[in-house]
């Protein structure tokens, strides 16, 4: 059975089964898409940001210092889960995304990395 969730009030279904998640021994965290906020900051001449928080969409000053690991749009897993473990369960990583220092507080510490993994 595939995992179902909502993203911006849209019903979503993953390509990942509940069994795959159970085999990894993890829980995922769902986050909202904030691309509308990112558009506000990226389209403005007032704000000169190159990186944006994947959680809230706000600009990140300087180089990003915190990252989250996603396996589906809106689904975040602990950063300790390696690509090898994901591949063993036929799960494809979407990679790591930067988050700001305020949004870092919204996640348990095992879901945030100080470097790209």
| Mean pLDDT per 10-residue segment, the chain (117 residues) | 56 70 73 60 66 86 91 83 86 89 90 87
pTM for the structure as a whole: 0.74
Contact (Cβ atoms closer than 8 angstroms) between residue 69 and residue 76: yes
Indicate if the alpha-carbon torsion angle 107, 110, 111, 117 is positive or negative: positive
Identify the pLDDT of residue 86: 87
Identify the pLDDT of residue 71: 85
* First-residue to last-residue Cα distance in the chain: 29
The SS3 call for residue 94 is: coil
The SS3 call for residue 31 is: coil
Contact (Cβ atoms closer than 8 angstroms) between residue 36 and residue 45: no
Q: Running DSSP on this structure, what letter comes out for residue 51?
A: E
Contact (Cβ atoms closer than 8 angstroms) between residue 69 and residue 112: no
């Amino acid at each position: 059975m595939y995992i179902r969730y909502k993203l911006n009030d849209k019903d979503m279904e993953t390509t990942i089964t509940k069994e795959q998640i159970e085999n990894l021994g993890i829980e995922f965290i769902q986050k909202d898409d904030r691309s509308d906020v990112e558009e506000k900051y990226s389209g403005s001449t007032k704000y000169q940001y190159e990186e944006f928080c994947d959680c809230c969409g706000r600009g990140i000053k300087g180089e990003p210092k915190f990252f989250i690991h996603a396996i589906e749009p809106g689904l975040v897993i602990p950063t300790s889960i390696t690509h090898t473990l994901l591949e063993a369960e036929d799960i494809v990583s979407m990679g790591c995304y930067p988050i700001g220092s305020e949004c870092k507080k919204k996640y348990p510490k095992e879901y945030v990395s100080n470097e790209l993994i």
